[in-house]
Amino acid sequence: MRAGPSQEEIRRQNLGALLRFVHVRGQISRAELTSELGLNRSTIGALTADLAGVGLVSEEAPRETGRAGRPSLVVRPSSELVYVYAASVEVDRIRVARVGLGGVILDQREAARPRGEAIEAVRPIADFIAAMAATVDPEARCIGAGIAVCGLVRRDDGLVRLGPHLGWLDEPLGHALQDRVPELLPQVTVGNVADLCALAEHTRGVAVGCDNIIYVYGDVGVGAGIIAGGRRVTGHGGYGGEVGHMVVNPHGRSCGCGSRGCWETEIGEYALLRAAGRDGEGRIQGAEAILAVVDAAARGDATAQAAVRQVGDWLGFGVANLVNIFNPELVIFGGTLRDVYLAAAAQVRSRLNSISLPATREHVRLRTPKLGRDAALIGAAELAFENLLADPLG
Amino acid sequence: MRAGPSQEEIRRQNLGALLRFVHVRGQISRAELTSELGLNRSTIGALTADLAGVGLVSEEAPRETGRAGRPSLVVRPSSELVYVYAASVEVDRIRVARVGLGGVILDQREAARPRGEAIEAVRPIADFIAAMAATVDPEARCIGAGIAVCGLVRRDDGLVRLGPHLGWLDEPLGHALQDRVPELLPQVTVGNVADLCALAEHTRGVAVGCDNIIYVYGDVGVGAGIIAGGRRVTGHGGYGGEVGHMVVNPHGRSCGCGSRGCWETEIGEYALLRAAGRDGEGRIQGAEAILAVVDAAARGDATAQAAVRQVGDWLGFGVANLVNIFNPELVIFGGTLRDVYLAAAAQVRSRLNSISLPATREHVRLRTPKLGRDAALIGAAELAFENLLADPLG
């Protein structure tokens, strides 16, 4: 029941809408902005001048169009001059990127994740940031940093309440990074990896234009990023989307969370490796091991084929539950679930069709991510850009 | 990426915000409106005059306050002069109310639901509406009608795609009512009963001020109304919230939907009656039968107690899944699940605590509805008022 906005709020909304447009769509003419945003030419001119004045966008004449008349100026995001740092803390890896306005990855590094608490994970991130910062144009402006992490993140302050596969409990990841390189980072925001992959695919990937999506992210753990009605569903404290701990098999295996038969125990990496007889000591793990099973199945290995079918069945089973709950238009399979889905698409679709209601599933498309492994970094960057886009001159 | 609003849009937003405020909170002084809406006195005065001019609100001097100075005028919703019809189509009953602006039930009737298609259900609704209309002040204005129905409703046109316990498939409920009394109803909107109970409790009930809620509605069937981040989660076509068909027990009973082990098969009315040995031919059914089991359990009947515990366990089990997915602050148990929850609250909480993650459940409260059986009608009325509140002078 908020009242309508004041003049100052309207200007802020208009500046944000224009900057977001340029950030998401890339360079665009003033004429197109006029029609896309439904504002008149003089307003677009004034807003663009304001944004250009603080270096967020630049304007220039377009290449020769061959048409008569004065061509409309082209507005571009200042990707080289306005940037954020994005990091992804995964079970095995740490990845860091510098991402310019417009979502351009300008620099990217990665390393094995040091075992231990957040303060250990933060060390290589801070080192990478410092190394990247040394190469940046002194005129350029850092907006902040975003971190994607495979854990439950408290929205208010970025505390990682639980990162089961990192061995973390109540780790202040955001504060740890900011404390380490305070001079380089005006702010640090932390989000769950599945949420941020969903955000990335919704902004720049396979889910552009889709308002109801579920991004199921799986590696050792499983979680979902959910967008409903165009908005992220993250719950009261920020912990929503823990679909990996939806119990699907009450008589199933014990889960690390203390419960039994969680979806994660049936579709996580360990489940596939166990079903394929490849879960012993000293075996390869992670994405490489999953790909090995999928490849073996494709080459005709019966054990691997049975394992892929079994996990595919459970994958479809849980997706059917989520489709009944959310009636999405798109389900995206990310992390190593991408490869499992591709190898078991028939099982997944068959389960979905037999379990979910016809109306809830009728328009749902099953897809793999467009942004691949970059999704977490792109999503973390979007998180870091959010305040700027809400109030570009603030 | 919409641009900020035009002057005309702002005026519409302000009128809508003021009218919604009065509609939801009831009578309020201009002075309070000024501070609540953050608008200045002259703007509030002008907006109120506009709304009073078309009869949506009235203004009058307050009772003597005993304080010095000119007292602020009190603004009231015109409940007697601006109203909607609200109907609820349940398995056994049809209920109809006339609801005034401000959410006041002015008149209410009910009847047994005639078996058969939507056109049969619409007959008593139309008759009640005609009878109520005959009693209405000729100056009064009907905004439309809202219908709550236990089925999957297509958002775009109110087609009931599936109403399993009504025996309905693709029934044009909204159109059928409008065709029957076109002179009385400018528009008819249809929604799922659980969605509308959630809307009602969020607007006027136990969930006021809570942005993340799950309303689990159960009778023979089970569904949920979900509000996330303050907005209704209804999915791509409007079919979201079908939690009754979340499979919780893969080796469980066949469900009417064609699947097996759906939550509904473990917590719906039939499940409790079966567990209590009261599901034979000629037995009482519905709310009365559920209450009889709950009463028997309270009086010490061991079979009834075991049945209540068993259903309570499954109730908690499914709620735990939903809590992991949505991280809500409130779960409300409506329909006959209200009585089951009250009788088995310990089981529900125990299962919730053992299955859901500590972070996702830590702030969740379990509650019964405040609006009771009126929730569906109040929610249907809110649906019918929505267009008016979005654009009061439109």
Using a CB-CB cut-off of 8 Å, the residues of chain B touching A190 are none
pLDDT tens-digit map of A315-352: 999 999 999 999 999 999 999 999 999 999 999 999 99
> In angstroms, what is the C-alpha Rg of chain B?
23
pLDDT in tens, B160-204: 999 999 999 999 999 999 999 989 899 999 999 999 999 999 999
The answer to whether the CB atoms of A321 and B2 lie below 8 A apart is: no
| Residue in A closest to B355 by C-alpha | A259
Assign residue B103 a region (left: φ > 0; alpha: ψ between -120 and 50; beta: otherwise). left
User: pLDDT band at B373, cuts 50/70/90?
Assistant: confident
Identify residue B225 by its one-letter amino acid code: G
Listed residues A77, A109, A139: the one ending a domain: A77
Beta B330-335 vs B231-232: how paired, if at all?
unpaired
- State the burial class of residue A247 (Cβ atoms within 10 Å of its Cβ: 0-12, 13-18, 19+): buried
Q: Is the pLDDT of residue A1 over 60?
A: no
**Reported ipTM exceeds the 0.85 cut:** yes
DSSP state of B373: G
A221 class by beta-carbon count within 10 Å (0-12 exposed, 13-18 middle, 19+ buried): buried
Torsion angles phi and psi, residue A340, rounded to 5: -65, -45
The reply to whether B2 falls in a domain is: no
Residue in B42, B50, B75, B247 to test binding to A, most A beta-carbons within 10 Å:
B247
For B288, the token pair is: 């009365």
CB contact under 8 A, B328 and A24: no
Q: Token pair of B107, please?
A: 């008149």
DSSP for B217-286, written as a single string: EESSSEEEEEEETTEE--TTTS----GGGSBS-TTS-B-TTS-BSBHHHHHSHHHHHHHTT--STT---H
Res A268 pLDDT > 60: yes
Contact A11 B4 (CB under 8 A): yes
- C-alpha B105/C-alpha B97 separation (Å) is 7
Residue A66: pLDDT band by 50, 70, 90 thresholds?
Answer: low
Please state, in angstroms and rounded to a whole number, the distance separating the CA atoms of residues A25 and B373: 49
Alpha-carbon distance of A113 to A121, in angstroms, equals: 6
* Same domain, yes or no: A221 and A319: yes
A350 touches chain B (CB under 8 A): no
Do A252 and A298 reside in the same domain of the chain? yes
Cβ atoms of residues A79 and A100 within 8 Å: yes
Mean of per-residue pLDDT scores for chain B: 94
> Residue B216 domain-assigned?
yes
Is a pLDDT exceeding 80 seen at residue B2? Answer: no
Residue B365 is assigned to a structural domain of this protein: yes
Nearest Cα neighbor of B347 from B389, B369, B319 is B319
**Residue A282 pLDDT exceeds 90:** no
Q: Examine the pLDDT at B307 and tell me if it is beyond 90.
A: yes
* Cα(B222)–Cα(B140) distance, integer angstroms: 38
Tens-place pLDDT, residues B70-87: 778 999 999 999 999 999
- What pLDDT was estimated at residue A8? 85
What's the order of all strands across the beta sheet hosting A222-228? A231-232, A222-228, A213-218, A330-335, A365-367
In one letter, which amino acid is A297? Answer: A
> The domain that contains B386 carries what CATH number?
3.30.420.40
> Would you say residue A4 has pLDDT above 90?
no
Same domain, B116 and B254: no
Using pLDDT thresholds of 50, 70 and 90, give the confidence band for residue B276: very high
B258 plus B356 within the same structural domain? yes
Token pair belonging to A82: 């306005």
- Measured CA to CA, the distance from residue A269 to residue A283 in angstroms comes to 13
Q: Please tell me whether residues B48 and B71 are part of one structural domain.
A: yes
CB-based contact A14 B3, cutoff 8 Å = yes
* pLDDT score for A202: 98
Q: For residue B224, list chain A residues with Cβ-Cβ distance below 8 A.
A: 325
**B85 DSSP assignment:** E
Q: Quick one: closest CA in B to A238, which residue?
A: B327
Among A357, A362, A276, A358, smallest CA distance to A312 is for A276
Rounded distance between C-alpha atoms, residue A244 and residue B259, angstroms: 22
Residue A61 has pLDDT above 90, yes or no: no
Split at pLDDT 50, 70, 90, the class of B360 is: very high
Mean pLDDT of B223-248: 97
Query: Are the beta carbons of A161 and B248 separated by less than 8 Å?
Result: no
Same domain for A360 and A232: yes
CATH number at residue B39: 1.10.10.10
Residue A33 scores a pLDDT above 80: yes
| Cα→Cα distances A308→A287, A323, A367, Å | 14, 22, 18
Length of chain A: 394
A54: its two tokens:
């603080």
Structural domain boundaries, residue B213: 208-369
Q: What is the mean pLDDT of residues B370-386?
A: 96
Distances (CA, A) of B208 to A91, A154, A337, B328: 40, 23, 39, 14
Domain count, chain B: 3
Contact by Cβ (8 Å): A356, B245: yes
Domain end: B51, B77, B103, which one? B77
* pLDDT tier, B1 (very low <50, low <70, confident <90, very high otherwise): low
At A10 the pLDDT is: 87
Say yes or no: A42 and A126 in one domain. no
DSSP 8-state symbol, B76: E
Classify B318 as helix, strand or coil.
helix
- Whether A131 is covered by a domain: the verdict is yes
User: Which residues on chain A are in Cβ contact (under 8 Å) with B251?
Assistant: 251
- If asked whether residues B249 and B300 sit together in one domain, one would say yes
Q: Are residues A232 and A300 in the same domain?
A: yes
Same-domain check for residues A173 and A213: no
Res B239: pLDDT: 97
CA dist., res. B184 & res. B141, Å (int): 10
pLDDT score of B222: 97
Q: How far lies B336's CA from each of B85, B168, B292, in Å? A: 25, 22, 12
Residue B249 to residue B267: CA distance in whole angstroms:
12
The total of other beta-carbon atoms located within 10 Å of residue A235's CB is 27
For residue B363, the chain A residues in CB contact (below 8 A) are 236-237
Position B160 in a domain: yes
pLDDT in the model for residue A2: 63
pLDDT surpassing 70 at residue A52: yes
Over residues B90-111, the mean pLDDT reads: 96
Region B27-50: mean pLDDT is: 92
Do B235 and A211 form a contact (C-beta atoms < 8 A)? no
Q: Is residue B215 part of a domain?
A: yes
| Sign of CA pseudo-dihedral A391, B3, B7, B13 | negative
Q: What is the pLDDT of residue A280?
A: 81
Q: What are phi and psi of A238, to 5 degrees?
A: 110, 5
For position A63, what pLDDT does the model report? Answer: 73
pLDDT value of residue B64: 65
pLDDT tens per residue, range B331-358: 999 999 999 999 999 999 999 999 999 9
DSSP B155: T
Domain boundary among A77, A98, A113: A77
pLDDT at B67 over 80: no
User: Does residue A114 sit at the B interface (CB-CB below 8 Å)?
Assistant: no
A306 and A328 belong to one structural domain: yes
Residue A65 has pLDDT above 70, yes or no: no
Residue A202 counted as domain residue: no
Has residue B360 been placed in a domain? yes
**Pair A233, A341 in one domain:** yes
Q: pTM, whole model, 2 decimals?
A: 0.95
